[in-house]
Copies of this chain bind each other. A is one copy, B any other.
Amino acid sequence: MICRAVARGRTAGIRLGIGDDAAVLRVPQGHEILVTTDFSLEGVHFRREWHPAASVGHRCLARGLSDIAAMGGEPRAAFLSLALPAGLPQRWVDEFVRGLLALAKKYGVTLAGGDTAQSPARVLADIVVVGSAPKGKAITRAGARPGDVLYVTGELGGSAAALDELYRGRKISAKKFARHFHPEPRVAVGCFLRERGWATAMIDLSDGLSTDLHHICEESGVGAEVLAEAIPSHHAASLEQALNGGEDYELLFTTRPGRKVPQKIAGVPVTRIGKIARSGVFLTRNGERENLAPGGWEHFRR
């Protein structure tokens, strides 16, 4: 089980950790709060034979932090609900918690509560991340306008490329595929864009570029055009993987046409990959324009 002491090391914003009916969080004056919740289910989001426990813990929290980053928010506290099968080695749990807490510490997030239960068979985790942003300043998916420019952070397809290797039964290097095993949520980039007021719409790439771009287009009531050659692919990834692979946890955002965006923000490369149009979502590849359908990322496509 999770040690109570784990949550006792608390930062100033948290009044109560694990050990009361609810955690009490202070909210900075003039801020509103952001809440996101994400499952990490064995057999759906990870496999114990593929993912070291510390990576599972890291990825579990990274999913939530990335959602806060996509709003331009500052993450504050995390809550972990964890159901474990009876026979699970304590060492697995310790490593899971270690991976999760290492990432939490890096982003100044306190594990402030949660729930534990016995699971019939598989490991089930649900992470809640609470963040905040100045009132009215959180960046939604709904602000893109025709003519806006489309940017993406980092490289795409690395996580999908790693999964494909794992499916083929190959041993792969956690270092080469760090984006899969230890994705880095783009919190600093999100905050930077929110502070400057540059991003008109933003989303994190959890389902894959093609699908998440459709989410922005739907919420903003616009279309988009992407240039295939401009997409920054992971060196091991195909264009297909960069377009449709999920779990890269990069940020996809739009700016007004005149905005000068630097090539790096908070040390992370930022690449212009297209623009917002009136309607339809298109990919131009080798000079040919085609429809870009949502690639339908499905976890462990069974």
Q: Residues of A at under 8 Å CB distance from B?
A: 15-16, 19-27, 31-39, 41, 43-45, 66-68, 70-71, 73, 77, 79, 81, 83, 112-115, 117-122, 124, 126, 128-131, 133, 135, 138, 140-142, 202-204, 219, 299
Contact sample, A vs B, 9 pairs, CB 8 Å cutoff = A20-B140, A22-B36, A25-B33, A27-B27, A33-B33, A39-B115, A39-B126, A41-B83, A81-B126
A interface SS class: strand
Q: Contacts A79-B128, A120-B122, A122-B120 given: A36-B24 contact, CB under 8 Å?
A: no
CB–CB A71/B21 < 8 A:
yes
Q: Which of B34, B83, B299 contacts A22 (CB 8 A)?
A: B34
Rounded to whole Å, the gap between the CB of A253 and the closest CB of chain B is: 11
CB–CB B39/A32 < 8 A:
no
Q: Which of B19, B37, B120 contacts A79 (CB 8 A)?
A: B37
CA distance A45 to B119 in the complex (A): 11
CB–CB A114/B37 < 8 A:
yes
Q: Which of B44, B45, B81 contacts A37 (CB 8 A)?
A: B81
CA distance A119 to B135 in the complex (A): 37
CB–CB B21/A120 < 8 A:
no
Most chain B CB neighbours (cut-off 10 Å) among A22, A45, A203: A22
Rounded to whole Å, the gap between the CB of A209 and the closest CB of chain B is: 15
